[in-house]
Amino acid sequence: MCMDKALLEATAAALVAPGKGILAADESNGTMSKRLEGVGLESSAEARRAYRANLFATPGCEDAISGVILYDETIRQNMDDGTQIPDYLTSRGIIPGIKVDTGTIDLEGCPGEKTTKGIGAEPENGWADLGTRCAEYFAMGARFAKWRAVIKIGDGMPSDQCIRSNADALAQYARICQDADLVPIIEPEVLMDGNHTGDKCSDVTVEVLRKTYEMCEVHGVYLPGTLLKPNMVIPGNASTVQSTRDQVATSTIDCLSLSTPRAIGGIVFLSGGQSDEDATAHLNIMNAGGQEWQLSYSYGRALQAAALKAWAEDGAEASQAAFAHRAKMNSLARSGDWDISLES
């Protein structure tokens, strides 16, 4: 199959358009159920649909949201009026995307480390191979995809095998997506779990990104038709020394400058355990300095936490208001125009 490079580039550019970023609403059914239960709500396919449909219907959210990453269940569901969710998003000028990895598994020979699956068919779980699924998702309206690798820092971790395994899987996934005309979001997440320093996070992130792009070259991935979804450079959450917001922003840009090709379509950060406000502030500082990449967001909890709480406590309109506020704050951070005073 021959990829449509022009379409891939156009989609990638639209996803990182000025003032816009991506809503990550691709939590697995199990994870989304836990989050609903965490705010005192019962979970079901309908409960997950109702919450997300209300979020997607937020008035004006298309001004700050360029795309939404969906889960397999969600891309097959409808809005309250019966419109299929991908069709509804498209009608609002929001690009539908899809999570295509099928989760992590233990990496053989590397205790405590994970690799991500989803390339081959998994008949026991009802999953077709990735190429078949990508073609189906494209026909359903998706125009981009996401695959998350998980890298843990610890005693002897990450191992070279862990880094190589995840880099190769990310590159294979990216090429398969592009052959189906889906823009791949490449997400190698170095986790915040641990007591490691910010410098250690930076060193590992540089190594992981370099290996990932080395494998992308091996697999013939077209970089302008890709987006990178990296972690920011932040000390482990159990570290006794935490970085200031300015230090996080500076370290993250330095890390990317050492590891990331200029040819990629853009960067959409994950929020990865940060508070809502920290995720916005870090992005704002990076953009205020002016960068050679488009620096945007692909946030899950940092866009949804307040909205989910409001959904449980105060209902639909309050949930939309909370989501609209966080989306607006991050939209401003895209151009370095956010300020703490706007949070009140």
Q: What are the catalytic residues?
A: 187, 229
Q: Which residue intervals of 149-300 are DSSP H helices?
A: 160-179, 198-218, 245-259, 276-288
Beta bridge partners of 96: 68
Q: Tell me the one-letter amino acid at 247.
A: Q
CA distance 172 to 166: 10
**Cβ–Cβ < 8 Å for 219, 171:** yes
Picking from 289, 62, 268, 250, the residue whose alpha carbon sits closest to that of residue 145 is 268
Q: At 228, phi and psi to the nearest 5?
A: -105, 135
Q: Which residue has the tokens 């695959």?
A: 147
CA distance 100 to 26: 10
The residues, any chain, with a CB within 8 Å of residue 156's CB and separated by 6 or more, are none
Put residue 54 in one of left, alpha, beta given phi > 0 → left and psi -120 to 50 → alpha.
alpha
CA distance 70 to 18: 22
